[in-house]
Structure 1
């Protein structure tokens, strides 16, 4: 996968590339709160069932923002790839959650 010219991988290498330098741990995060309108619609969906599209969109936006921030951190470290990428979530307040993305920044050739 590619992000703004950065090679991205959730495994410990980039297939076909050689790691020549480790640049360190990089991360990005975002904290998002639930939106009343989405919360209301989610409550209705709980009655009839189905995908909570508002929450799916919120999580997709959050993952992209956290990943973009991680990529910016890797660019600042001189890396051209990030390996072993992982996502984590945690509740930080009632109705708000952090989405955290992290990996190892490396230079490959």
Structure 2
């Protein structure tokens, strides 16, 4: 499966557009992570606990999007984008989306 954030794939010709595919996950903060984040907020620096949580969520959303594309028998997903939104206090949704295509 080829995954790109561009509308074309270098050296490839798109023969069919299969449609929008997406994958999402919602992650909530953990009390232990909040305590560490609070301490980092006092002394400054990267909040590694949240960086890891968001990175893992992004990977999960991407996997789910690819799974949806595979069900359509796509060869690639183009125009990949990520978006984040807060769904409630302490929880955020990560959404990955793109266009599933066949390569001729």
In structure 2, which of residues 11, 23, 28 is the aligned counterpart of residue 28 of structure 1? 23
User: Which runs of no fewer than 5 residues in structure 1 stay unpaired?
Assistant: 1-5
2:58 aligned with 1:63:
yes
**How many corresponding residue pairs?**
104
SS of 2:73 mapped into structure 1: coil
Query: C-alpha displacement at 1:78, in angstroms?
Result: 1.2
Aligned-partner Cα distance in 2 for 1:22–1:78: 11
After TM superposition, what 4+ stretches of structure 1 lie above 2 angstroms from structure 2?
none
User: Which runs of no fewer than 5 residues in structure 2 stay unpaired?
Assistant: none
TM-score by length of 1: 0.93
Query: C-alpha displacement at 1:42, in angstroms?
Result: 0.5
SS of 1:14 mapped into structure 2: coil
Aligned-partner Cα distance in 2 for 1:46–1:94: 18
TM-score by length of 2: 0.98
